[in-house]
Chain A
């Protein structure tokens, strides 16, 4: 059973450039969330996608955008990169389970993409 996969593993960009990160969820999962983990910090929620729509968004500027495809995979796009965008970007997948309270499902994380902005 394949877990959550992310690509690329590492990426180096310069300020002002744009970047696209990719995520494939764990088999059978339909919900994808993205988190940013700055060095020495806990992960911060960026946004979540379900049924190809953004369902919730954290406190991140519009430079951060995403997409979910019909096969549940997802992309995170960041425009006009800043030095402060350097971080580990984590994708997490989960399966919404009918009949259970929202939030009881477990999020499984991928290995992350390390983005360095110079």
Chain B
């Protein structure tokens, strides 16, 4: 079965510093990987996805993610964190089969200190 793991419940970073939110995956077949962000009491906003091609994927709000097949990782990164980036981040993988059902990780809370 497909799965993703987010090993850190919380990541703390100072404003202006680079940030990384980690995600590892386990899939059979080609991995289709996604990152979403959730602000308090809100739905999920799509940031970026990896389907195929370049291992560095650029997304919304200055975020990017690096796909590493040998390490089965898909870490989310941003060169310079903003206080407004503070939110809950979810990594997800497509489950396979005949639909685009997503399997989500448990989420990582990003706290950016001013």
Which residues of A are interface residues toward B (Cβ below 8 A)? 4, 6, 31, 33, 35, 41-45, 48, 50, 55-56, 58, 90, 92, 94, 101-112, 114
Number of A-B contacts (CB under 8 A): 75
Contacts of A107 in B (CB 8 A): 34, 46, 100, 102
**Is B51 located at the chain interface by the 8 A CB criterion?**
yes
| Interface contact A109-B36, CB-CB below 8 Å | yes
Report yes or no: B99 in contact with A111, Cβ–Cβ below 8 A.
no
Q: Are A94 and B43 in contact (CB-based, < 8 A)?
A: no
Establish whether residues A43 and B45, one from each chain, have CB atoms under 8 Å apart when the complex forms.
Answer: no
Residue in B closest to A110 when the chains form the complex, CB atoms: B43
Residues of chain B lying within 8 A (CB to CB) of residue A109: 36, 43-46
A114 CA to B46 CA, complexed, in Å: 20
Which chain A residue shows the least CB distance to B97? A56
Closest 3 CB pairs of A and B: A42-B104, A103-B94, A109-B44
- Which A residues touch B34, using CB under 8 A? 106-107
Give chain B interface residues in 71-114, CB to chain A under 8 Å: 90, 92, 94-107
Given A102-B100, A105-B100, A107-B100, is A42 in contact with B105 using a C-beta cutoff of 8 Å? yes
